[in-house]
A and B are shown apart, each in its own frame.
Chain A
């Protein structure tokens, strides 16, 4: 068995930072659903499915100083970027994604929050996935 790639200080810090962001995003999404009682729409659920594992995978990666964990995190981050970007599009661009029909359940184009006039929950989600992507990229490039 190959030893885990040893993380240098800068790489270790970046990995840790990525994990912290995943924790904040996870806690934030639970705050919206459990404390504020917002019901997550379908796209929100997909983003949660992709964000929550990051809080766990990156925890183990940080603990072991294992940069190999970035590989396991990458698919979640890339898909999370795609889903949250799509969701932001659905909210911000008229006629994008969903045709104007009435449907049951929680609509994805409704904004529960709108901080500073533009920060909706999918914007927060996209920001978190993007920051994690950057931090993980720094971790990988800072390896050598």
Chain B
């Protein structure tokens, strides 16, 4: 006989099971060994031997990355990089579409030419995010990065010279099971991409030393 206690028990089990399906995958963030991230080949702000490594996976066409670049990134740079506590690394994760990869590729081409110019490129690219594509990104290089050989960047973009760097970043992101951009790793452990969460993780990493 199907009694109400059985039905109630079934209901509770079902609700808990469904709740667990949503909660459990979000409990543990991704973690990576420093060697998996290939940090020495990435654009870096701060000293390579800084005590804490912050890695940000981004897609230039992702509006949330634009927000992050505008509001969170400058604070991290000011409060942790300039103080020597942390180094910030950039990695690409293509989530929006094919044009994301083309723009990321232009970024890698700029990085090949000049690391400091890369960070300037990233800044202006996010400010020009609306309608951003490969052609526009190359125009930004000519317009805003006077110290960079724009012709060399164009050649690099046309001949896919830095595509491997983009694809390797994306491969790393996929292997880590990252779900979107921006994704932030502090010393190899994924944290929520907010200023507060990154600060907490960086301070914990510093305190653990």
List the interface of chain A (C-beta within 8 A of B): 9, 12-13, 15-16, 19-20, 23, 26-27, 30-31, 34-35, 37, 55, 59, 62-63, 65
Contacts and interface: CB of A to CB of B under 8 A. Distances in A.
Contacts of A30: 18, 21-22
Contact of B21 (A31, A55, A63): A31
Contact of B4 (A23, A26, A63): A63
B7 A62 contact: yes
A30 to B, nearest CB: 5
A27 B14 CA distance: 8
B146 interface: no
| Chain B interface residue number, banded | 10 to 19
Interface in B22-38: 22, 24-25
Contact of B25 (A12, A16, A34, A63): A34
A86 B99 CA distance: 35
Nearest to A55: B14
* A-B interface, 3 closest residue pairs, ranked by CB to CB distance from nearest: A12-B2, A16-B2, A23-B14
A26 B24 CA distance: 17
A16 B7 contact: yes
B136 interface: no
B152 interface: no
B1 A9 contact: yes
Contacts of A62: 2, 7
A113 to B, nearest CB: 17
Given A12-B2, A19-B10, A30-B22, 19 more contacts: A9-B1, A9-B2, A12-B1, A13-B1, A13-B2, A15-B2, A16-B7, A20-B10, A27-B18, A27-B21, A30-B21, A31-B21, A34-B22, A35-B24, A35-B25, A55-B14, A59-B7, A62-B2, A65-B2
Per DSSP, chain A at the interface is helix
Interface string B98-113: 0000000000000000
Contacts of A35: 21, 24-25
Contacts of B10: 16, 19-20, 23
B17 to A, nearest CB: 5
B179 interface: yes
Contacts of B25: 34-35
A47 B25 CA distance: 24
A35 B11 CA distance: 21
B136 to A, nearest CB: 23
A115 to B, nearest CB: 19
Contacts of B4: 63
B196 interface: no
23 contacts: A9-B1, A12-B1, A13-B1, A16-B6, A16-B7, A19-B10, A23-B10, A26-B18, A27-B14, A27-B17, A27-B21, A30-B22, A31-B21, A34-B22, A35-B21, A35-B25, A37-B177, A55-B14, A59-B11, A63-B4, A63-B7, A63-B11, A65-B2
Nearest to A17: B2
Contacts of A20: 10
A63 B63 CA distance: 47
A20 B17 CA distance: 13
A37 B22 contact: no
B177 to A, nearest CB: 8
